[in-house]
Amino acid sequence: MQPPRVIETCLYVDDLEKAEEFYSRVLGLAVYAKLEGRHTFFRSGDGVFLLFNPERTRKAAANGVPTHGATGEGHVAFEMGEDEIDTWRSKLEGEKVEIELEHTWPNGGFSFYFRDPAGNSVELVTPCIWGLE
Amino acid sequence: MQPPRVIETCLYVDDLEKAEEFYSRVLGLAVYAKLEGRHTFFRSGDGVFLLFNPERTRKAAANGVPTHGATGEGHVAFEMGEDEIDTWRSKLEGEKVEIELEHTWPNGGFSFYFRDPAGNSVELVTPCIWGLE
């Protein structure tokens, strides 16, 4: 018995407005829902990408949902098509996003690494690094 | 321009062996790769679910991949079919996993919340909460 997939991927940020602006502008993610000061939720593919302010989510929620909240640099990776590498490089450069690393993996996968405004490590990666199409 | 989906979802744990045992036994996830003391990677659907020891990932890696590493309780949610709620409840109970909360959402979605051995908040949720099928 195994869940078919991850449906919610989370990162924590100190400034939700800055982070929302970043993920909307740089990655083109669409806001699905938000609660000012607590969270901004985006759709991504057939799942969601959730940004939380850990100061808020560490406190008991009105609906009783369990607390959580991390500090420090998290990591997320989004898929990038093999034929989109140059387009993404131009996009990141055009948006003045500093590319921390361009990395070619032993199996031919390729990654861009950069930081969101909260310092989280964000990656765009071709799916072949995981043997995925 | 938008990435088609999240491909890597990460959590941080203090004890990789305990966490690997938990996610394998309770959620049936298959180990894809591991590096003792640094990470254990699982497949999940068409992406991967990555566990890292933040003590290690905060230090520079041999391959130069950027540092990251968070402390505190992270969160992840896996999909659960509408018709699997009772089966998952039995599975969690059978594996002696304490269900922290069973929650029915205003739109009819249903969640189980429980903790991994590192204290991360793990959820099984029916996709209708996000308007997803």
Convert B62-93 into a string of H (helix), E (strand) and C (coil): CCCCCCCEEEEECEEEEECCHHHHHHHHHHHH
* Residue A58 pLDDT grade (very low, low, confident, very high; cuts 50, 70, 90): very high
Mean pLDDT score of chain A: 96
Average pLDDT over residues A2-26: 98
Q: Where are the beta strands (DSSP E) in chain A?
A: 6-12, 30-35, 39-44, 47-52, 69-73, 75-79, 101-104, 110-115, 121-125
Looking at the partner chain, which of B32, B46, B80 has a beta carbon nearest the beta carbon of A3? B80
Q: Mind listing the pLDDT tens digit for each residue in A109-133?
A: 999 999 999 999 999 999 998 887 6
* B120: chain A residues, CB-CB within 8 Å: 68
Average pLDDT over residues A80-92: 97
Q: What are phi and psi of A94, to 5 degrees?
A: -65, -30
Burial of A92 (0-12, 13-18, 19+ CB in 10 A): middle
What is the residue whose two structure tokens read 């203090």?
Answer: B14
Residue A1, pLDDT > 80, answer yes
Q: Where are the domains of chain B?
A: 8-61+71-130
Q: Look at residue B110 in the predicted model and tell me its pLDDT.
A: 97
Q: Look at residue B61 in the predicted model and tell me its pLDDT.
A: 87
Q: Is the ipTM of this complex over 0.85?
A: yes
Average pLDDT over residues A75-100: 98
- pLDDT tens, per residue, chain B with 133 residues: 899 999 999 999 999 999 999 999 999 999 999 999 999 999 999 999 999 999 999 999 888 999 999 999 999 999 999 999 999 999 999 999 999 999 999 989 999 999 999 999 999 999 998 887 6
Average pLDDT over residues A28-39: 96
Are the Cβ atoms of A68 and B74 closer than 8 angstroms?
yes
Note whether B75 contacts A: Cβ–Cβ < 8 A: yes
Are the Cβ atoms of B27 and A76 closer than 8 angstroms?
no
Q: What is the pTM of this model?
A: 0.96
Looking at the partner chain, which of B5, B27, B68 has a beta carbon nearest the beta carbon of A74? B68
Which residue of A27, A68, A126 to mutate against B (max B Cβ within 10 Å)? A68
Q: Mind listing the pLDDT tens digit for each residue in A96-110?
A: 999 999 999 998 999
**Chain B contacts in chain A segment 87-126 (CB below 8 A):** 87-88, 91, 100-101, 103, 113, 120-121, 123-125
* Residue A62 pLDDT grade (very low, low, confident, very high; cuts 50, 70, 90): confident
Are the Cβ atoms of B78 and A121 closer than 8 angstroms?
no
Are the Cβ atoms of A67 and B43 closer than 8 angstroms?
no
Task: Note the CATH architecture for domain A8-60+73-130.
Answer: Roll (3.10)
Q: B8-61+71-130, which class in CATH?
A: alpha beta
Which residue of A32, A57, A75, A121 to mutate against B (max B Cβ within 10 Å)? A75
